[in-house]
Amino acid sequence: MSKSLKRVIRALADGGLDSIPREVGQAATAQAAADLIGCTLDQIAKSIIFRGQDSGAAILFITAGGNRVDPAKASALAGEALDKADAALIRAQTGFVIGGVAPIGHLTPPRTFFDPRLMEFDTVWAAAGTPRHVFPAAPADLLRLSGAQEANFIA
């Protein structure tokens, strides 16, 4: 079991959730993940990482699978201009690889914002630290465990 997956499992347990990650295979898109899991596209909680231009820090936006982050709204929420985060920054600050970035269990917890659309579901699915693993959670639990702020940043 990878260190990343173990960190997510520990974060779930520390947060009081009995959620068990499931190996579903590697999915290149949110739609592919939804197809593998058997849920709707918007039940996929995507973890989108940007880099703050001033701070250099990773900033996380957790969004419903069918939604896109609006760069202007995201920058306004972050209080600084945002750039695309590269793989090295993501790995160094979160401990995860692209495609497996979980919304919890980061090496350095980022400032995090949460798409209200996710709250419309009983269960959402998020990456569990690897490109092949996901975990289910109630959106309110995911919001709490991620330390996110619910906000509108959708295009």
What is the pTM (predicted TM-score) of this model?
A: 0.95
Low-confidence residues of the chain: pLDDT under 70: none
pLDDT per residue as tens digits for the range 132-142: 999 999 999 99
Domain count, the chain: 1
Q: Where are the alpha helices (DSSP H) in 28-123?
A: 30-37, 71-78, 87-94
Cβ neighbours, 10 Å, residue 86? 12
Cβ contact 131:11 at 8 Å: no
pLDDT per residue as tens digits for the range 83-98: 999 999 999 999 999 8
Domain that holds residue 133: 3-150
The secondary element (H helix, E strand) that includes residue 64 is strand 58-64
Q: Is 31 helix (H, G, I), strand (E, B) or coil?
A: helix
87 inside domain: yes
* CATH (domain of 11): 3.90.960.10
